[in-house]
């Protein structure tokens, strides 16, 4: 394109390329986008503003350009060349004294948690048992159920707690007409029904401590949340509940702390060493500011962000539980649509990391969507998890890539469990996993899929109906935020501060 070339909006180029020689529009799908282009164009003419990296075509298509490619404008034109970037506003830095105050606040919060744990352990010691395994103390009494939240010297409703009392959050009430041991007339808390969802003072002598231990959930062992009926009967009803990989449920806002740190940091990128046990090759991932802001701003995730979470899973699950031989990962940067010899790379990884029933987790990016492919080369079963619910029959390029990789493994390895009768049949299983209801969360869904497979998979198998602990129509905001907080904490503590 020369400098004297006449500029033609690319939605018009796209529309012109989809006309037959007779001037007819190709098909109904093109007609829908065509009409949308006309509608958006009219809106822009009337004063509607589009974002800097969006134009009429993208809004009409309702999808982003593939990385490194701009639709309808010809080969070799990059996104940065086609969409001029607006000057970046200079962000106001957090004053050093304010940043130091936030760091002190973090230290204070951790100190409070530690003191609370020590106090809870002292209560547990009075009842006997192994205090080192306490992760949460739950209150049981004939009239209610709740959780102990206090620390020494705590107050309640701006008043000091009475001696030998603790602050209890009331979660479930069985006898609503029973009086509170310590009523609060000013707050209108006289009966147990009044205290539901509130914090009240409760005598230590009337508390029956039940210790909840952190356990890895699996297909037959779910987390439980109590209900009124389950507490009354003594049986708790199993439902889905988050599992924090750090073994705690603290509410420290690591995402906020990381954001504050970046604003005041002069460092623009950090090295993330990737051991060979993760992707079957040792290399260093470069984590940049823009990668971190993908998580902070809840943007569409790139491969670096995905790989950093894989490193987190390696550090927090595979190594401590000695699962390195049970799971391996395929590097998403080596198998994208723009690469060649993907099957050879995947097949060679199968061969070099060959162990019975090892699961190979492969985050795959089509260019505008993340999904997860999990392969058990021993049984020649491939599990397919797509948060859009697209059938594997519509992803033939992906299917050929992994089919060929399994055939490479099959040729080099005689230890497959597949009979000769079925030797040509590679089985694909589409997992009924949670699905997204927007166009940007696919990467976060892949993070959760990987975490849940590592926690729940037994003997190299993923159930067709997915793990019962996580059978959901979609992930809640809380579950998505959980992996974001884990990612931010890992980056802040392990990569940036290198603790």
Paired tokens of 87: 């000057």
Do 357 and 459 meet the contact criterion of CB atoms below 8 Å apart? yes
**Per-residue pLDDT at 356 exceeds 80:** yes
d(CA 221, CA 230): 17
What pLDDT is stored for residue 86 in this prediction?
52
Cα angle 191, 197, 202 (rounded to 5 degrees) comes to 55
What pLDDT is stored for residue 363 in this prediction?
97
Q: How confident is the model at residue 448 (pLDDT cuts 50, 70, 90)?
A: very high
Paired tokens of 136: 């949460």
Paired tokens of 261: 């740190």
pTM to 2 decimals?
0.55
Paired tokens of 487: 């990612």
d(CA 415, CA 427): 17
**Biggest distance spanned by C-alpha atoms of the chain:** 90
Q: How confident is the model at residue 103 (pLDDT cuts 50, 70, 90)?
A: confident
**Per-residue pLDDT at 369 exceeds 50:** yes
What pLDDT is stored for residue 178 in this prediction?
80
What pLDDT is stored for residue 200 in this prediction?
81
* Residues 118-123, mean pLDDT to the nearest whole number: 52
**Which one of 207-221, 255-269, 435-449 scores highest in mean pLDDT?**
435-449
**Per-residue pLDDT at 453 exceeds 80:** yes
Nearest to 70 by CA among 10, 115, 126: 10
What pLDDT is stored for residue 235 in this prediction?
47
**Per-residue pLDDT at 224 exceeds 80:** no
What is the chain's length? 499
Bridge partners of residue 203, in order along the sequence: 165
What pLDDT is stored for residue 129 in this prediction?
39
| DSSP type of residue 7 | P
The model's pLDDT over 143-183, given as tens digits with 9 standing for 90+, comes to 555 655 544 446 666 677 787 777 777 766 666 678 888 88
What pLDDT is stored for residue 136 in this prediction?
34
Q: How does 356-373 read in b/e, with b if 16+ C-beta sit within 10 Å? A: ebbbbbbbbbbeebbbbb
Of residues 281 and 266, more confidence is placed in 281
* Residues 301-330, mean pLDDT to the nearest whole number: 93
């Amino acid at each position: 394109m020369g400098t004297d070339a006449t500029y033609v909006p690319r939605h018009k180029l796209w529309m012109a390329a989809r006309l037959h020689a007779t001037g007819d529009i190709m098909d109904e799908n093109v007609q829908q986008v065509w009409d949308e282009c006309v509608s958006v164009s009219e809106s822009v003419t009337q004063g509607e503003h589009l974002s800097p990296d969006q134009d009429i075509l993208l809004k009409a298509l309702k999808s982003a350009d593939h990385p490194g490619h701009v639709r309808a404008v010809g080969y070799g034109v990059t996104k940065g060349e086609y969409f001029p970037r607006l000057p970046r506003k200079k962000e106001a830095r957090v004053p050093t004294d304010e940043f130091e105050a936030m760091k002190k606040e973090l230290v204070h919060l951790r100190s409070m948690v530690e003191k609370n744990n020590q106090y809870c352990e002292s209560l547990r010691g009075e009842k006997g048992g192994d205090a080192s395994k306490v992760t949460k103390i739950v209150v049981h009494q004939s009239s209610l159920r709740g959780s102990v939240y206090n620390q020494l010297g705590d107050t309640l409703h701006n008043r000091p707690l009475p001696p030998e009392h603790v602050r209890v959050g009331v979660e479930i009430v069985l006898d609503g007409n029973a009086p509170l041991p310590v009523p609060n007339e000013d707050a209108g808390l006289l009966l147990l029904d009044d205290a539901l969802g509130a914090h009240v003072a409760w005598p230590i002598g009337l508390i029956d401590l039940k210790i909840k231990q952190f356990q890895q959930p699996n297909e037959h062992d779910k987390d439980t949340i109590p209900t009124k009926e389950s507490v009354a009967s003594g049986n708790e009803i199993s439902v889905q509940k988050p599992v924090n990989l750090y073994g705690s449920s603290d509410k420290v806002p690591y995402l906020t702390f990381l954001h504050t740190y970046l604003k005041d940091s002069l460092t623009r990128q950090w090295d993330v060493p990737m051991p060979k046990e993760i992707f079957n090759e040792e290399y260093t991932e470069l984590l940049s500011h823009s990668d971190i802001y993908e998580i902070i701003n809840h943007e569409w995730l790139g491969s670096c962000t995905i790989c950093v979470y894989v490193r987190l899973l390696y550090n927090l699950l595979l190594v401590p539980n000695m699962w390195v031989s049970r799971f391996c990962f395929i590097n998403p940067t080596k198998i994208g649509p723009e690469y060649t010899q993907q099957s050879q790379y995947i097949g060679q990884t199968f061969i070099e990391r060959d162990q019975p029933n090892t699961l190979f987790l492969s985050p795959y990016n089509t260019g505008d969507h993340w999904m997860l492919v999990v392969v058990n080369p021993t049984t020649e079963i491939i599990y397919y998890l797509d948060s859009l619910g697209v059938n594997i029959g519509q992803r033939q390029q992906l299917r050929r890539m992994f089919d060929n990789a399994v055939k490479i493994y099959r040729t080099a390895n005689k230890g497959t469990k597949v009979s000769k009768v079925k030797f040509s049949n590679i089985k694909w299983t589409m997992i009924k996993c949670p699905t997204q209801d927007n166009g940007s969360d696919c990467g976060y869904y892949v993070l959760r899929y990987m975490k849940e497979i590592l926690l729940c998979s037994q003997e190299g198998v993923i159930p067709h109906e997915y793990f019962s602990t996580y059978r959901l129509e979609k992930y809640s905001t809380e579950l998505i935020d959980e992996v974001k907080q884990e990612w931010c904490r890992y980056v802040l503590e392990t990569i940036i501060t290198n603790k």
